[in-house]
Structure 1
Amino acid sequence: MKKIGFIGYGSMGHVILNGFLNSGMLKPFNVTVSTRTPSKLSELEKNHPEVEIANDNIQTAQNSDIIFLFTGTSDVKYVIEEIKTSLSEKTHLIYISAALGMDLVGTIFDGKITKVIPSITSEVHEGVSLICHQESVTTEEADFVDNLFRTVGEVKLVDEVDLDVGADITSCSPAFIAKIFQEFSVQASNNSNFSKEEAEKMIISTLYGTSKLLYEKGYGVDDLISAVATKGGITEEGVKILDSELPELFSELFKTTIKKHQIIRRELEEQY
């Protein structure tokens, strides 16, 4: 069985690694972990005592055939350079930095590279992880990574060129959706005797039910809108407002986030 290393244990590293271990597909005695803040690993050590806690990133790399980098985008280069002498062309490196192209990573590491865009929704085994494998990654190696991520949600294989917008759809959207419904609850409270907390609770429950209708009952989006927004009714008037305002809003959202991806990418090109 291949040995798996995890470098970095922030919020996403915590969600993904624990999801892998709790699924049973990843055995704790095959896992080595290192992080800048060892105190974060106390719960992991308690729940999975067979996981090896490394003294540093070099030890993790030396112990591993496959290495997951759950570090910040700006740290990826420095971590790879730190562990480079412990890597080989057979090492499979998986990282989660959306704006960091595999071509740039390839300038400092000549092994196998996979780029993954995970989602915080993996914590509840839902949502979609976007995955892009470099050509040198074999089918067997790709399947192993894909199946690991299937233990914490769905997997969609994509071309790297689509990862910017894909990240907006799957990884950024929990924040976008939460913000939209936060504002919805504020305005509901402003126009009623409901507190913001009461409105928010009702909206979350309704959002959950709406998701189940779409996901479990097979409603199409248009079908659901038509079922609720009957002709000449109150809901239809609200939908007209959304039809008028949302296209421009979301167009601007995508333009802004894509521009930010491009800015970060140019900064990274200078760094590499």
Structure 2
Amino acid sequence: MNIGIIGTGNMGRILAEAFIDSGAIKAESLMVTNRTIAKALELKKVYPGIQVAEKAEEVARYSDMVFICVKPLEIHALLGTINSFLKKEKCLISITSPISTGQIETLVNCSVIRAIPSITNRALAGACLLTYGEKCNPEWKNRAYDFLAKISSPIEIEQELVRVSSDIVSCGPAFFSFLLQAFIEAAVKKTGIDKERATKMASAMIVGMGELLSQGHYTLPTLQEKVCVKGGITGEGIKVLEKGLGDLFYDLLDATHTKFEEDLKKAREQYSTN
């Protein structure tokens, strides 16, 4: 199966690297392109076997499964240039949340899937959110699921859960990285521990915590219970968190959902003309 990636920015490159490193495909079966072609050529320096195309049309013509990894409002125009190469037997996969499979299906005749990845997929871990188009061939549903399972744990979601699911899966690593860095900075300022060692400790802690959950030793609640001994030091810290957390995550979700609604409105304006 030939795979194409249009857009080798952060997430497009992560997918290319994960697909090859996982063994899901051979480098020779991957064709990529990018508006700034130098980014695609940088990827080829690491994986010499991949093919770099100058135009998106070449990728669409070559590929059985085409991943679109461009900004949401760029997709409409892009589909106009590659539509004639997206034959019915092919599959188009968009990785952006504001554009629905239904909107894309108004412009193309091939199978359509939305797959929202996570940066954790670079480590061949974490989730990938799937929404299938109404006209998607059942065979492509299975093939895409199995393919993405090589780099992630695919989870099918409904349209109404796209934003909150993306907040958890796709945005979550950035949110919790921010919180962990704030924890480290406080430790450095408060105690004098050097930042390098504090960062090493915190990184090892978060990786170890992930392994505990992944291997099924604990759930999030039981993990907290095991560490938080009654009357102990951890319990005092939990009290501070309970008091200080307030509506932080409610406010966070309000902010992401407000921005999402703005993006949805702009997208509807583009696709309403079709």
- Structure 1 length as normaliser, TM-score? 0.91
Query: Aligned partner of 2:40: which letter?
Result: L
1:56 aligns to 2:68 (yes or no): no
**Paired residue for 2:183?**
184
**Paired residue for 1:96?**
95
- The alpha-carbon deviation at position 41 of structure 1 amounts to 3.0
- The alpha-carbon deviation at position 39 of structure 1 amounts to 2.3
Distance 1:30 1:217 in 2: 36
- Return 23-32 or 53-62, whichever deviates more: 23-32
Distance 1:140 1:27 in 2: 22
Distance 1:51 1:190 in 2: 47
Contact 2:41–2:52 under 8 Å retained in 1: no
- Kindly provide the CA deviation profile for residues 128-159 of structure 1, in whole angstroms up to 9, marking residues without a partner as x: 11111112222221121112211112111111
Distance 1:214 1:59 in 2: 43
Distance 2:176 2:208 in 1: 15
Distance 1:181 1:111, change over 3 A: same
Query: Aligned partner of 2:151: which letter?
Result: V
**Paired residue for 1:125?**
124
1:140 aligns to 2:113 (yes or no): no
- Kindly provide the CA deviation profile for residues 195-251 of structure 1, in whole angstroms up to 9, marking residues without a partner as x: 333322222222222222222252122222122211122211211222233351111
- The alpha-carbon deviation at position 68 of structure 1 amounts to 0.9
Query: Aligned partner of 1:252: which letter?
Result: D
Distance 1:161 1:14, change over 3 A: same
1:245 aligns to 2:255 (yes or no): no
Uncovered stretches (5+) of structure 1, i.e. residues with no partner: none
- The alpha-carbon deviation at position 89 of structure 1 amounts to 3.3
Contact 2:32–2:50 under 8 Å retained in 1: yes
Query: Aligned partner of 1:255: which letter?
Result: D
Distance 1:206 1:32, change over 3 A: closer
- The alpha-carbon deviation at position 45 of structure 1 amounts to 3.3
Give matches, 1:251-262, under 5 Å: 251-262=250-261
1:108 aligns to 2:107 (yes or no): yes
- The alpha-carbon deviation at position 61 of structure 1 amounts to 1.5
The 3-state SS of whatever aligns with 2:247 is helix
**Paired residue for 1:4?**
3
Distance 2:113 2:133 in 1: 6
Distance 2:88 2:262 in 1: 31
Contact 2:20–2:26 under 8 Å retained in 1: yes
RMSD, aligned α-carbons: 1.9
- Kindly provide the CA deviation profile for residues 38-72 of structure 1, in whole angstroms up to 9, marking residues without a partner as x: 22233543554443322311122122232111111
Contact 2:111–2:140 under 8 Å retained in 1: no
**Paired residue for 2:207?**
208
- The alpha-carbon deviation at position 111 of structure 1 amounts to 2.7
**Paired residue for 1:198?**
197
Distance 2:188 2:3 in 1: 49
Distance 2:147 2:52 in 1: 21
- Return 195-204 or 151-160, whichever deviates more: 195-204
- Kindly provide the CA deviation profile for residues 154-192 of structure 1, in whole angstroms up to 9, marking residues without a partner as x: 111111221111101111011001000111111112211
- The alpha-carbon deviation at position 88 of structure 1 amounts to 2.9
Distance 1:217 1:87 in 2: 43
The 3-state SS of whatever aligns with 1:76 is helix
1:27 aligns to 2:46 (yes or no): no
- The alpha-carbon deviation at position 105 of structure 1 amounts to 1.8
- The alpha-carbon deviation at position 258 of structure 1 amounts to 1.2
Query: Aligned partner of 1:226: which letter?
Result: E
Distance 2:254 2:265 in 1: 17
Give the count of matched residue pairs. 271
Uncovered stretches (5+) of structure 2, i.e. residues with no partner: none
**Paired residue for 2:153?**
154
- Structure 2 length as normaliser, TM-score? 0.91
Distance 2:200 2:63 in 1: 45
Query: Aligned partner of 1:163: which letter?
Result: V
The 3-state SS of whatever aligns with 1:113 is strand
Give matches, 1:229-240, under 5 Å: 229-240=228-239
